Amino acid sequence: MSDHYPDRLWFFAEKGQAAPTRWVAHDDVTKPFSVNMYLCDCARCRDALAAEVARTPRTNLLVRSEGDRLLVTAELALDVWERTAGLEGLLYLPADAIRDVSVPEWPPLWYPQRWFSTTCREDELLAGRTPAVRRVPARQSRAAARRRAEWLADHPDERLHDELEARRSRSHLRLVAGGGTGPTRGRRVRYRRPARDLRLL
Ligand SMILES: [Zn+2]
């Protein structure tokens, strides 16, 4: 492996710091997981994952697949691995495949969330729903796939990500305009529940 910065280690690159050493869990099954550590699908990597779960069940893992980016806790990954003899059960998209599994440079999943998929979040926003906090993997529904395909067909020159970000900022503006401006005359202003609040599944 070359020693260049993987795209997700921008934090170290921006600070001019060396990227943490890259290693694979089967090299030392007792070593605590650290940033830039990778898991392969061998039995020793599964043993290393089980040891990590015993120490720190909420260690975050980044799953890069052909069509998605997912974050999962080590505990959920081990559960899926033991029940299905692989990690593919973590994937959101049908017929997707895992490229690699590693420890990201920061742990973005907060309790009780154990699973996050970039594509799933986009599909929920596209459907006008608030993204849910998930403890188990979701699978893309046919309706969600159809909605996404239709949007992409209607907007060949736009990026779905940009559209969803624009919708978010519009809803934020509405929130401020509806409740946050104007004289309150000493009354408490009741804000609408923010759109970024997360539903719990
Ligand atoms: Zn391995």
Residues 102-143: tens digit of each pLDDT: 998 877 898 899 999 999 999 999 998 888 999 999 999 999
Q: How far is the CA of 30 from the centre of ligand 1 (A)?
A: 13
Distance 106 CA to ligand 1 centre (A): 23
If you measure from the C-alpha of residue 28 to the centroid of ligand 1, how many angstroms do you get, rounded to a whole number? 10
Q: What is the pTM of this model?
A: 0.78
> What is the whole-number distance in angstroms between the Cα of residue 183 and the centre of ligand 1?
62
**pLDDT over threshold 90, residue 165:** no
Distance between Cα 50 and ligand 1 center (Å): 13
What distance in Å separates the CA atoms of residue 49 and residue 75, rounded to the nearest whole number?
Answer: 8
d(CA 113, ligand 1 centre) in Å? 26
Q: In the sheet where 37-39 sits, what is the strand order?
A: 23-24, 37-39, 98-102, 60-65, 69-73, 115-117
49-59 tens-digit pLDDT: 999 999 999 99
